Structure 1
Amino acid sequence: MIRTALKPAWLALLALLVVVVVAFYQLGMWQLGVSSNAASREFAAEQATRPTVPLAEAITPQSTFPDDGAGRSVLVTGTYVPELQFLVPQRLLEGEPGYWVVTPVRTVGSSPEALLPVVRGFVPAPADAGRPDPDVPVELTGTLAPGEAPGPTGLPEGQRGSIDTAELVNDWDSPIYDAFLFLVQESPTLTTSEVRAVPPPVFGETGVVWRNVGYALQWFIFAAFAVYMYVRFLRDAAQEPAPAPATDLPTLSPPVKEPRP
């Protein structure tokens, strides 16, 4: 069968098969991506319809993060605590590497007053972070997120590997929320233009759109069927019997002349 496959005609057919299989695979993966993206858009639209609520209605200090808290839009009132500000390195914004600027807010209206870490934005270099005025009351609107897993250690002073609230509760001499906030709006504006806003991510189980998953499976089946047909035709061609050799023609004897009377 290998000898047959190495013939020019079958090599050309193999090249065509590779092109077809790759194309079908890419179309299948594209449909899977479409299914996930469509589900994410649907979840994001649902998340956007949830009303903004005061922070106290979404979470309280020193309590576990609520099951429905991720992605919740909340209103926070308090003052920044710039001396506790830190940077989180190895973050990306539109493909650019840099740092998240995290400044806690000491909330008012909660009992007890507590600290809520706030991602004020993104900077490409630590010198661009700046520090907000601690004496000016501020009203923030943002998106809640659960604390992150521990990050890398051994970083320069003023930097942390992640927004790990379990670590912050040991380092900050104040009650804290088991959450952090992606800043969306700030009044009055205390964050400089050098600190670029970080778009809040879409949280939760986004799922898939099964219609597009079905389309993806169809493309994968088409690719498998093309491979199957190639192998089958190749095997049949390899098993065809060789043409029988030509048999020797019968030897004709010269005609015998009969004697004349």
Structure 2
Amino acid sequence: MYRFLLTPRWWGINVFVLLAIPFCVFMGSWQLGRFEDRVQDHRDAGEQASAAKTQAPRPLARLLPVDKGTSGKQATTTGRYGKQLLVPDRELDDERGFYVLTMLRTDDGKALPVVRGWLAGDADTTKVPAAPAGEVTVTGALQASETPGSNGVPAAGGLPAGQTGAISSASLVNLVPYEMYDAWITLAEADPGMKAVPATAPSDTGLDLKAFQNLGYTGEWFVFAGFVVFMWFRLMRREAESAQDAELGLVEETPARISA
């Protein structure tokens, strides 16, 4: 009854199934590995952020450019505060407020964006304490430039003068008259009257949409493998039943064909 499995047509079907199943399993396992890597990156980023709080600060120049290994590290540099901007619509402890972002002009002529602290409510320059005058040494967690629309960074534009939606050299280049570092720091201890802004994990190291996409793709590939097995079994049973009916004379025997 199952002699049809040895026909050339079924040899082709069987070879396809034998190749498709391990391919689907391989792709599912690969996507699962990607998800596990992102979970591990998330754990490593959390451990790095915790360890960075107790590490001695290092000169800013030694930590640049910012990458996954240096993001969150304590950096220190010296300079004089210059132009100041407000960063609206930032939450801290589930409360809406804004960052106070002040440019620190360093000895090499570049400006480093420094988040001096956070204040509750709408962005208002009258609420902001004045920046310290003269030369200052700042210490805080090094951060990579933000990307609008990710990690809670607003993507909306059209902000009033003196405000910026994202802390990045690309966003600030037209707002301040200095050459900018492609990085920023958030002070370990906020200036008086404000709350310190905690450092965030490096981008692409969290359990974000990409991580759960990998997990979803894992399920899809394993489902595909199961579907291939199911369809092979269904086709085989139909053809076996047709062959049995033909042997019993219930139907006229015709060349086997695949039916969905």
Letter in 1 for 2:128: R
The C-alpha deviation readout for 1:203-257, integer Å capped at 9, x for no partner, is: 5889xxxxxxxx99987665333222221222123221337369xxxxxxxxxxx
The C-alpha deviation readout for 1:43-80, integer Å capped at 9, x for no partner, is: 55457467521335446xxxxx4677544420245665
The C-alpha deviation readout for 1:81-117, integer Å capped at 9, x for no partner, is: 5x6232244x5668x695551421535xx42565421
Residue in 1 aligned with 2:129? 132
Residue in 1 aligned with 2:189? 186
From 30, 33, 55, give the equivalent of 2:60.
55
Output the CA distance in 2 between the equivalents of 1:204 and 1:175.
Answer: 27
Residue in 2 aligned with 1:158? 162
Please list, as runs of the form range in 1=range in 2, the aligned pairs for 1:67-106 lying within 5 A after superposition.
70-77=71-78, 84-89=84-89, 98=96, 100-106=98-104
Letter in 1 for 2:227: V
> TM-score, normalised on structure 2?
0.53
CA contact (8 A) 1:31 1:216 kept: no
Q: Measure how far apart 1:36 and its partner are.
A: 0.9
Percent sequence identity is 24
Distance 1:105 1:158, change over 3 A: closer
Which structure 2 residue ranges, 5 or more long, are not aligned?
1-27, 149-154, 207-214, 251-260
CA contact (8 A) 2:86 2:123 kept: no
Specify the SS of the correspondent of 1:199. coil
Letter in 2 for 1:54: P
Residue in 1 aligned with 2:197? 197
- Count the aligned residue pairs: 200
Quick check: 1:232 aligned with 2:216? no
Q: Measure how far apart 1:145 and its partner are.
A: 2.8
CA contact (8 A) 1:116 1:180 kept: yes
Quick check: 1:177 aligned with 2:181? yes
Residue in 1 aligned with 2:140? 142
> TM-score, normalised on structure 1?
0.53
Give the alignment's Cα RMSD to 1 decimal: 4.7
Distance 1:135 1:225, change over 3 A: closer
Which structure 1 residue ranges, 5 or more long, are not aligned?
1-25, 60-64, 207-214, 247-261
